[in-house]
């Protein structure tokens, strides 16, 4: 991997999982002059092919024409120097298998997904020397096919290696992450490089395990969850359990203890994302499937391996899985 992405405007880029956030990234990169192909759901891709991609919200108003689109991996018939994987975490293995031969030998695939385990899964398929991780903490939605709307932008996108998973490749991957961060930032999506992406991913995970399941189940935005005196102890407990697991795994979180993180959570993160609702809510009620397994479910799994208890995360995982089954049954009856 050369790492000279800032000058390689002809390097082909694939957005694998071009939903709301993937479409924002693909559209902005295409506007900046990059060769972008987007792989996503048929209705959204068909609308983009007909009328272009409309980007609205906090990154400005843009209409993007000329994007290459596909709604099935079999339609992607070239190799890419960069694959930005924004697929749902439960689709990581299947999309990795489908795109295994679509990454250039000196290319890199970046996991831009929620939760834990995605970098490991991609490393098994593509090789650890070709995988970076990313933390995406801006929110977007697709109000109608062909449109992606940025609803909130809490912090810049962060891209970096995971030294604990592939230490021997860290130097080259860090150089690559810095170049790729420069490329995306120059395209108008604020982006920074991280020396170690895992503490950054874990910091977002603390946020997600507290808010996403309750927001999905109760259909409440983040500010309402944090303001409810009956829900606050549940948020706090989910965070405490996840923080304990991270500490046991020696993750270098940028907080002295869980209390320090919660202070940051309530005073800085909640205000900047007050009206946002989790994508888990949409996934649950529209598809009947969520990423709970890589979020709260992963905390439960890791806690068991470490001999720790995570009763709140276990409860939230079970409630979401029960809600998934109920919604899947309802969707079958509606067909």
**Average pLDDT over every residue of 301-320:** 98
pLDDT value of position 9: 60
Query: Higher-confidence residue: 3 or 294?
Result: 294
Strands 138-141, 131-135: pairing is: unpaired
| Token representation of residue 9 | 């405007």
**Average pLDDT over every residue of 257-266:** 96
2: pLDDT confidence band, cut at 50, 70 and 90? Answer: very low
In the chain, % of residues over pLDDT 90:
90
pLDDT value of position 137: 86
Any long-range contacts for 301-308 (C-beta under 8 Å, 24+ apart)? 302/116, 302/245, 302/249, 303/241, 303/244, 303/245, 306/245, 306/248, 306/249, 308/241, 308/244, 308/245, 308/248
Residue with the two structure tokens 């809600």: 323
pLDDT value of position 35: 96
Query: Higher-confidence residue: 139 or 254?
Result: 254
Residue 6 has pLDDT above 60, yes or no: no
| Token representation of residue 272 | 């900047």
In the chain, % of residues over pLDDT 70:
97
Domains of the chain listed by start with CATH number: 13-195 (3.40.50.720), 199-334 (1.10.1040.10)
What's 76's DSSP letter?
A: -
Residue 113 has pLDDT above 80, yes or no: yes
7: pLDDT confidence band, cut at 50, 70 and 90? Answer: very low
At 36-56, the pLDDT tens digits run 999 999 999 999 999 999 999
What gap in Å lies between CA 299 and CA 317, rounded to an integer? 10
What gap in Å lies between CA 167 and CA 279, rounded to an integer? 33
**Average pLDDT over every residue of 261-274:** 94
168: pLDDT confidence band, cut at 50, 70 and 90? Answer: confident
φ and ψ of 56, to 5 deg: -135, 170
With H, G, I as helix, E, B as strand and everything else as coil, classify residue 288: coil
């Amino acid at each position: 991997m050369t790492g000279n992405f800032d000058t390689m405007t002809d390097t082909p880029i694939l957005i694998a999982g071009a939903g709301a956030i993937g479409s924002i990234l693909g559209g902005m990169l295409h506007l900046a002059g990059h060769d972008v192909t987007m792989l996503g759901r048929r209705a959204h891709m068909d609308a983009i092919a007909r009328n272009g991609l409309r980007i609205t919200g906090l990154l400005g108003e843009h209409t993007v024409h000329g994007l290459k689109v596909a709604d099935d991996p079999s339609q992607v018939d070239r190799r890419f120097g960069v694959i930005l994987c924004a697929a749902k975490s439960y689709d990581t293995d299947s999309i990795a298998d489908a795109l295994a031969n679509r990454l250039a030998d000196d290319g890199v695939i970046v996991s831009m997904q929620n939760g834990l385990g995605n970098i490991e899964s991609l490393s098994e398929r593509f090789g650890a020397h070709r995988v970076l991780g990313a933390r995406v903490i801006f929110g977007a939605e697709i109000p109608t096919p062909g449109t992606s709307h940025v609803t909130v932008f809490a912090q810049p996108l962060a891209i970096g290696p995971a030294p604990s998973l592939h230490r021997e490749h860290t130097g080259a991957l860090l150089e690559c992450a810095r170049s790729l961060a420069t490329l995306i930032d120059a395209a108008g999506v604020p982006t920074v490089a991280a020396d170690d992406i895992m503490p950054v991913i874990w910091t977002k995970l603390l946020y997600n395990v507290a808010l996403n399941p309750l927001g999905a189940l109760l259909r409440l935005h983040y500010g309402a969850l944090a303001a409810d005196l009956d829900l606050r102890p549940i948020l706090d407990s989910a965070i405490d359990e996840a923080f304990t697991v991270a500490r046991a795994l020696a993750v270098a979180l940028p907080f002295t203890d869980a209390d320090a993180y919660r202070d940051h959570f309530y005073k800085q993160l909640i205000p900047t994302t007050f009206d946002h609702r989790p994508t888990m809510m949409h996934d649950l009620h529209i598809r009947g499937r969520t990423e709970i397994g890589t979020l709260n479910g992963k905390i439960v799994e890791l806690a068991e391996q470490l001999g720790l208890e995570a009763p709140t995360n276990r409860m939230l995982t079970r409630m979401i899985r029960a809600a998934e089954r109920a919604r899947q049954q309802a969707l079958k009856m509606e067909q």
